[in-house]
């Protein structure tokens, strides 16, 4: 099999530490030959790990996508509101595209991207990764083979762990729907995709409705005595499940802890002192009830 060459746009946790690691484990299948990443440290790290020449490392996707075709495919792992432009330019330049979910925060842009890929006859795949997990693969087989009879209805719940809620949607990158995506899109687009896939629902969706608001994580819900930052001597440290060191220090030997510590410090080898330093200064050390200056409601209008 011919090795696929690829370029990564957005060398964050998902792009560099999740998807791109596949190339290190399967060099006979895919090889990265370029990277676009505004953070110089991340860009240099990715180049070192994957043996990328300096002339194929860019701080902006525009600089790459005006050049002649340099690889087979582009992986786009930027923030949610930065998907459309690089995806369109990559398709126009002649690349196959693997795009992180959600495709776009704007429905019209999703349609345009699909039409462009079809017009160019390019592979255009979205990172709805649940389809490839053993659990859902087996569930799909059971349904396809009629093991339990004909499908009548599906009851599906998205159970978000309290630590995940705090990390991603209160303290983290998806804390403000004006800057990224509302939680219903960022998280639950996985659920909508898996439901359509399991049900073989090829027909167009007729209507979708959703409602919600920021209810719990706001100052008036804070327990008495809660401080604005966890490491300022908060008297509720022992009893509060959201106390930052419980999540980012105590869980360091779990897979969740390793992933979260890497996000907080941008260093997969960070020791406890480096994590503490990041919590003292960065967003992940804030009290979940006092992030209101940075958080807007997650409702869909």
Q: Of 182, 167, 283, 166, nearest to 217 (Cα)? A: 166
pLDDT tens for 70-127 read 999 999 999 998 999 999 999 999 999 999 999 998 999 999 999 999 999 999 999 9
For the chain, the domains span 4-127
Under DSSP, is residue 229 helix (H, G, I), strand (E, B) or coil?
A: strand
pLDDT at 129 over 90: yes
Place of tokens 């693997």: 98
Sheet with strand 4-9: strands edge to edge? 57-58, 30-36, 4-9, 73-76, 96-99, 124-126
pLDDT at 292: 62
Instruction: Give residues with Cβ within 8 angstroms of 292, minimum separation 6.
Output: 218, 219
Query: For domain 4-127, which CATH number applies: 3.40.50.300, 3.40.50.720, 3.90.1150.10, 2.10.60.10?
Result: 3.40.50.720
pLDDT at 297 over 80: no
């Amino acid at each position: 099999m011919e090795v696929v060459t690829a370029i990564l746009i957005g060398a964050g946790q998902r792009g560099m530490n999740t998807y791109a690691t596949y190339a290190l484990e399967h060099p006979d299948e895919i090889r990265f030959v370029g990277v676009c990443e505004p953070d110089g440290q991340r860009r240099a790290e990715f180049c070192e790990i994957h043996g990328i020449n300096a002339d194929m490392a860019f701080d902006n996707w525009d600089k790459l996508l005006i050049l002649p075709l340099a690889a087979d495919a582009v992986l786009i792992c930027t923030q949610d509101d930065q998907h459309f432009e690089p995806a369109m330019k990559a398709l126009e330049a002649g690349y196959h595209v693997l795009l992180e979910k959600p495709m776009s925060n704007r429905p019209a842009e999703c349609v345009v991207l699909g039409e462009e890929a079809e017009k160019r006859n390019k592979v255009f795949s979205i990172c709805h990764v649940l389809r490839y997990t053993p659990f859902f693969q087996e569930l799909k087989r059971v349904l396809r083979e009629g093991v339990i009879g004909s499908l009548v209805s599906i009851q599906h719940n998205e159970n978000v762990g309290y630590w995940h809620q705090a990390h991603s949607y209160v303290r983290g990158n998806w804390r403000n729907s004006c800057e990224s995506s509302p939680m219903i899109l960022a998280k639950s687009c996985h659920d909508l995709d898996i439901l359509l896939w399991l049900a073989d629902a090829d027909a167009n969706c007729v209507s979708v409705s959703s409602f919600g608001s920021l209810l719990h994580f706001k100052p008036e819900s804070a327990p008495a005595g809660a401080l604005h930052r966890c490491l300022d001597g908060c008297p509720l440290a022992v009893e509060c499940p959201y106390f930052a060191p419980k999540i980012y220090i105590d869980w360091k030997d779990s897979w969740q802890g390793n992933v979260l510590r890497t996000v907080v410090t941008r260093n997969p080898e960070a020791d406890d002192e480096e994590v503490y330093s990041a919590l003292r200064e960065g967003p992940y050390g804030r009290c979940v009830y006092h992030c209101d200056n940075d958080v807007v409601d997650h409702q869909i209008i």
